[in-house]
Amino acid sequence: MNQLALFTKPWKALPLPQLARHILSLGFDLIELPVRPGFQVEPATIERDLPAAVKLLAEHGVRVLNVTADLPLDDERLYSACALAGVGMNRVMFWQRDMDYWAAEAEARRQLDAALPFCEQYDFQIGIQNHSGRFVPVNEMGMFNLVKNYDPRYVAAVWDPAHNALEGMNSDSALDVLAPHLCVVNLKNAYWRRVSGPEAEIAEWQIYWTSGAQGRASWPQVIAKLKVIAYEGPICFSAEYSDEERVDELIVKDLAFARGLLA
């Protein structure tokens, strides 16, 4: 049975005890915890604060699946702190910046190679998420090309069907490609919305983050395929919505929608 986790990014202002109570009220007891400036655990104090945070959350009934840490992958503090906290994975994304794609992929591989000795020493996993736009990778083929030569115990795929769909890729094919490399599946949804009128010389589009049933990625198709490939790993809800005032309402509805599909 898949574990269902929640990314706590929308609730960065809540103190940890209040965060735990809120997460439980939304129907979750497993989270992805950001370790970023301005959040409950910050990169500069990760060695002290991450183990303490994980312990405090556990005392309130909430477990930590993984972190997403704003630290270089060759910073041993990331691994030692996660080992002390009992956290086994860090989700990362590689921004293309001003490089061409192949140079950006080579830079991502350099960072992963630098992380490997720590991953092996601490029995730790780097989970790479695909992201639309100027990221490495944006889709399943880019992900496969990046992770294919790594042991998935240490470097694996966090597949995001919403970003995959925004780039025009089919979820069934994506999971055929990535099944051996999956460590987490993200669930959120979005579509491209035209923001210029029909009289515009060139059309302009923006991403609109919406509920699970309304976006370009078909959650029924995604979850049906996860069953076909016998994926039993974690599923993490990103809780990303353009209508930020309705995050709590929408994540509860999305959890119920996904549970119905998984049943």
Q: State the distance between the two ends of the chain, measured CA to CA, in whole angstroms.
A: 10
Query: How high is the pLDDT of residue 26?
Result: 98
d(C-alpha 146, C-alpha 105), whole Å: 7
> Is residue 159 over pLDDT 90?
yes
**Which pLDDT tens digit goes with each residue over 227-250?**
999 999 999 999 999 999 999 999
Range of the domain at 253: 4-262
Helix, strand, coil proportions of the chain in percent (round to 5)? 45, 20, 35
Look at residue 103 in the predicted model and tell me its pLDDT. 97
Task: Count Cβ atoms below 10 Å from residue 106 Cβ, excluding itself.
Answer: 12
Percent of the chain with pLDDT over 90: 97
| Percent of residues, the chain, with pLDDT higher than 70 | 100
Q: What is the CATH number of the domain that holds 40?
A: 3.20.20.150
Q: Which of 150-159, 180-189, 194-203 has the lowest mean pLDDT?
A: 194-203
On whether the CB atoms of residues 146 and 93 are closer than 8 A, the answer is: no
- pTM greater than 0.85 (yes/no): yes
- Using one digit for the tens of pLDDT, what is the confidence trace for 48-87? 999 999 999 999 999 999 999 999 999 999 999 999 999 9
Contact 149, 120 (CB under 8 A): no
What is the average pLDDT value for the chain, to the nearest integer?
A: 97
Tell me the two tokens of residue 140. Answer: 């399943």
pLDDT for the residue numbered 209: 98
Strand, helix or coil for residue 37: coil
Domain count, the chain: 1
Confidence band (pLDDT; 50, 70, 90) for 5? very high
